[in-house]
């Protein structure tokens, strides 16, 4: 074995007990020095590997892994106290593990979380605690909510200046962020209605005798290239590209038209006029530029714009199609999991998304809890995935509901493209795109509902599709729950918090207080019993401003906006 180049600052050489004296220039001395250099290089390499892998594996695995290496050192003639790697890694790891075992269970986890989590008043980017305060709420207060008014999707544009919502009535409402008041920096900017338009209408497929709902399933913004904004909206069958533009001037003085649009009598025209623009009240126009239809047999559940800004994908239950933004009459089928015999169908596609930087890469999730990463450079039809992300099932947790609650309802790439986040019924998982065998982080969202799965199955709540989102720097993830609760999970500080979106508890600039759910035993004063949760109040759709600590959560027909408290 050759001597390796040290990766870190050299430590003191390992002391080896010699049985007899050797001359510095003798062959025995050179051989001994060579062995010492090899041990030192191996030790430094092992420390380097340990520092890298400890971010992906648990402490127990590292104790075992490094312990085996220390035992090998002992077999080579060193006692355990003489092995430098033991004092640097194994002993501190053992002490840390003992400390974790001795701490009370409620200090190690919150509501069954798999991570070490402590109560906090806020979770934000940058590693510092953020206090969240109520900013706005949009929507009617009526208890009797019309089905058409229920919000079905929420999405910020790339700058965060615009916030779009879609509802079950086929309407799209766009809110614009007002400019901050520089004279009163404590007064944060608010979002006001910018434009409202009807995106989709109810349709009827006479060939299949099938009614097509107008509900907006997804909205995706395109990067802004000029003064106008563009967005994609889709219902179950049809995707539309909308142009959102402003107009504050109108042309006047046409030669062939009157002011009301009627054509002039050419016999009365005696001179030519130069058309001019006259100022007018600001008008926001939403016009459909493209309609992409007749390509999906099943219900569309996802659309995602490619990083090349020229193509996008649309996914339904069994197929994924690739579209060009300028071509409406044809698309390319890139994934097809429909079996020859529908009786052999075992899973469906639940979500799909393009990589934020690699235009050839996309992922899609399934109802079996798997995520497949595909490379469009490999073949035209991506029937074979490049990577398969799947966590082995724990046999002890196997139940009648295992397959239902393992179905992934949402998948999102992090902004840097290194990680993926998936949401199933009970948990949020963060995956490293370079590690397929298991997630690097698992967060339990509402583990206290595991004992209620039977009743949730009876009222169909177990089939609810919760979404999730990242903050601007990928350090915090957010997702919704029942009783108008939503969860924030800080990846850096290993903390989580449960907050509530409610008109009763939301006053202007009021700081949100963490909420706790009591799963059993004696309930504390500030806790809520799991039996008193309202499953009709749920937060399925959330969005996070790409640059600021501003979040939007949808509760039935209301849109709540919260922001970081400004001192």
Q: What is the pLDDT of residues 267-287, one digit of tens each?
A: 777 788 788 888 888 889 999
287 pairs with which residues across the strands? 243
pLDDT tens profile 166-212: 999 999 999 999 876 545 555 567 999 999 999 999 999 888 888 99
**Residue ranges covered by each domain of the chain:** 27-102, 125-236+295-564
531's CB contacts (< 8 A; 6+ apart) are none
125's CB contacts (< 8 A; 6+ apart) are 471, 472, 473, 475, 476, 549
Q: What per-residue confidence (pLDDT) applies to 395?
A: 84
Q: What per-residue confidence (pLDDT) applies to 314?
A: 98
Give the tokens for residue 7: 């990766």
Give the tokens for residue 480: 């919704």
Give the tokens for residue 358: 């690699």
* Whole-model pTM over 0.95: no
**Tell me: domain 125-236+295-564, CATH 3.10.150.10, correct?**
no
Q: Report residues of the chain scoring pLDDT below 50.
A: 1-25, 45, 47-61, 63, 68, 72, 75, 78-82, 103-128, 182
177 pairs with which residues across the strands? 191
CA distance 152 to 71: 58
253's CB contacts (< 8 A; 6+ apart) are 273, 274, 275, 276
Sign of CA dihedral 18, 23, 26, 32: positive
CA distance 216 to 172: 8
375 pairs with which residues across the strands? 361
CA distance 511 to 120: 13
Residue found under tokens 């050839």: 360
**End-to-end Cα separation, the chain, in angstroms:** 62
Burial of 203-240, coded b for 16+ CB within 10 Å and e otherwise, reads beeeeeeeebbbbbbbbbbbeeeeeebbbbbbbbbbbb
Give the tokens for residue 409: 């309802």
Cα dist from 278 to 261, 348, 532, whole Å: 16, 56, 61
Q: What per-residue confidence (pLDDT) applies to 508?
A: 73
């Amino acid at each position: 074995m050759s001597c390796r180049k040290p990766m870190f600052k050299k430590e003191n050489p390992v002391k080896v007990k010699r049985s007899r004296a050797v001359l510095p220039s003798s062959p025995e001395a050179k051989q001994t020095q060579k062995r010492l250099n090899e041990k030192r290089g191996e030790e430094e390499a092992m420390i380097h590997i340990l520092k890298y892998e400890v971010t992906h594996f648990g402490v127990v695995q590292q104790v075992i892994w490094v312990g085996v290496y220390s035992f090998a050192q002992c077999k080579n003639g060193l006692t355990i106290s003489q092995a430098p790697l033991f004092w640097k890694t194994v002993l501190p790891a053992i002490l840390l593990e003992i400390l974790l075992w001795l701490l009370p269970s409620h200090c190690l986890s919150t509501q069954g979380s798999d991570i070490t989590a402590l109560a906090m008043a806020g979770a934000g980017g940058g590693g510092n605690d953020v206090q969240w305060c109520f900013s706005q709420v949009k929507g009617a207060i009526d208890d009797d909510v019309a089905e058409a008014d229920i919000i079905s999707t929420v999405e910020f544009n790339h700058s965060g200046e615009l916030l779009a919502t879609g509802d079950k009535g086929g309407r799209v409402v766009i809110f614009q962020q007002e400019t901050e008041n520089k004279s009163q920096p404590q007064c944060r900017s608010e979002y006001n209605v910018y434009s409202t338009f009807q995106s989709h209408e109810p349709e009827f497929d006479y060939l299949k005798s099938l009614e097509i709902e107008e509900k907006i399933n997804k909205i995706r913004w395109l990067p802004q290239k000029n003064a106008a904004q563009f967005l994609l909206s889709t219902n179950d069958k049809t995707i539309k590209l909308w142009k959102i533009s402003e107009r504050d001037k109108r042309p006047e003085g046409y030669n062939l038209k009157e002011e009301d649009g009627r054509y002039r009598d050419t016999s009365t025209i005696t001179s030519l006029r130069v058309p001019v623009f006259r100022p007018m009240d600001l008008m926001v126009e939403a016009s459909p530029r493209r309609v992409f239809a007749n390509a999906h047999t099943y219900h569309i559940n996802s659309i995602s714009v490619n990083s090349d800004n020229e193509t996008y994908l649309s996914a339904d239950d069994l197929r994924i199609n690739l579209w060009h933004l300028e071509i409406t009459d044809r698309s390319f089928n890139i994934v097809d999991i429909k079996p020859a015999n529908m009786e052999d169908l075992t899973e469906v596609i639940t979500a799909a998304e393009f990589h934020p930087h690699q235009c050839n890469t996309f992922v899609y999730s399934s109802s079996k809890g798997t995520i497949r990463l595909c490379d469009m450079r490999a073949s035209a039809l991506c029937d074979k995935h490049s990577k398969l992300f799947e966590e082995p099932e724990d046999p002890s947790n196997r139940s009648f509901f295992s397959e239902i609650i393992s179905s992934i309802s949402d998948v999102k790439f992090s902004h840097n493209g290194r990680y993926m986040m998936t949401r199933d019924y009970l948990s949020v998982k963060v995956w490293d795109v370079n590690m397929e065998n298991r997630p690097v982080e698992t967060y339990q969202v509402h583990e206290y509902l595991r004992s209620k799965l039977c009743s949730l199955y009876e009222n169909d709540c177990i089939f609810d599709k919760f979404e999730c989102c990242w903050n601007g720097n990928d350090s915090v993830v957010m997702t919704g729950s029942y009783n108008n609760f939503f969860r924030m999970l800080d990846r850096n500080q290993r903390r989580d918090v449960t907050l509530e979106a409610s008109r009763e508890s939301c006053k202007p600039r009021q700081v949100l207080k963490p909420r706790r759910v009591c799963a059993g035993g004696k309930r504390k004063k500030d806790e809520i019993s799991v039996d008193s949760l309202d499953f009709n109040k749920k937060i399925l759709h959330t969005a996070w401003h790409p640059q600021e600590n501003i979040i939007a959560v949808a509760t039935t027909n209301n849109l709540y906006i919260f922001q970081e408290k400004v001192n």
